[in-house]
Amino acid sequence: MSLPALRTFEQRIERQLRLLELRKTIIERNIGRQIRLFERKRDNIGKKIEEQARLFERKRGIRLDDEVRFIRSWLERPLTIGAVTPSGKMLARAMARYVDPRSNGPVVELGPGTGPVTEALVQAGVAPSRLVLVEFNPAFCRILRARYPEATLVQGDAYSLRRLLETLLLQPAAAVVSGLPLVTKPIRMRLRLIRDAFDLMMPGAPFVQFTYSVASPLPRRLGGFSVEASERIWMNIPPARVWVYRKI
Ligand SMILES: C[S@@+](CC[C@H](N)C(=O)[O-])C[C@H]1O[C@@H](n2cnc3c(N)ncnc32)[C@H](O)[C@@H]1O
């Protein structure tokens, strides 16, 4: 290729590169604008829901603090929270029923949120000092710390259960009760969690999990544990079922 032809070629390439750069900047700017728009919309929806809840509280003379906090957390991280409102009393009681209050050892709760299941466990006779609460969300941790000062609160990722509890538990757990939105995680992670939980529990102790989905959140066919399910609890919003797994 002659020198002038090479220069023309170079200039053409440079022009293409500048055009590409320009397009990239425009796309980045558009994406940024969309994200800001989405965040503004999300915040407005959050504020509207809070306003409605406050109005409702004033009219009915009740307090919806937990619900409002829950909704706010759900708007920020929908997949992590997994539910728009805390569990109702019926579901919380149904979960607590699977824990024998006369058993020995700690009772571990994963994802206690604002504490409806924790409350049901205490009401069912589990001493708060036996509770080990593993919660990710700092706002929920503050609530739990104030409500259950005798319980052991671990602010961390429940999917790292072994690392979090291995040295903390002085004896095998009598039960693990989970409100985690398990179905949002890959099967591999769910199985690792339940295996880690079984290693921290006494033989035959229950791993209690609720879910809104129709099927068991842990595949029955993989074996190694027994599976039991409650009736669907229609009085919960949305209706839910409690699944109980025990290591065979
Ligand atoms: C569906 S809510 C259930 C809350 C409460 N147990 C109830 O029944 O209302 C799920 C809870 O799990 C917590 N969570 C989600 N992922 C977690 C994780 N990896 N480690 C610890 N907590 C987690 C959320 O912050 C939330 O409090």
Cβ neighbours of residue 33 closer than 8 Å, sequence gap 6 or more: none
Mark residue 148 as left, alpha or beta (left: phi above 0; alpha: psi -120 to 50; beta: remaining): beta
Ligand 1 in reach of 113 Cβ (< 6 A): yes
* Interval 79-103: pLDDT, tens: 666 666 777 889 999 999 999 999 9
Atom of ligand 1 nearest to the CA of 157: 20
Rounded distance, CA 236 to CA 86, Å?
10
* Interval 159-216: pLDDT, tens: 999 999 999 999 999 999 999 999 889 999 999 999 999 999 999 999 999 998 888 9
End-to-end CA distance of the chain: 77
Rounded distance, CA 210 to CA 206, Å?
13
Q: How far is the CA of 140 from the centre of ligand 1 (A)?
A: 9
Q: Tokens 């939105």 — which residue? A: 181
* Interval 2-43: pLDDT, tens: 888 888 888 888 888 888 888 888 888 888 788 778 777 877
Q: What is the DSSP letter of 166?
A: T
> Cα 204 from chain centroid?
26
Ligand 1 in reach of 144 Cβ (< 6 A): no
Q: What single-letter amino acid sits at 185?
A: K
Ligand 1 in reach of 80 Cβ (< 6 A): yes
Q: Which residue, judged by its Cα, is nearest atom 13 of ligand 1?
A: 111
- Predicted TM-score (pTM) of the model is 0.76
Q: How far is the CA of 15 from the centre of ligand 1 (A)?
A: 53
Q: What is the pLDDT of residue 25?
A: 81
Ligand 1 in reach of 217 Cβ (< 6 A): no
Ligand 1 in reach of 86 Cβ (< 6 A): yes
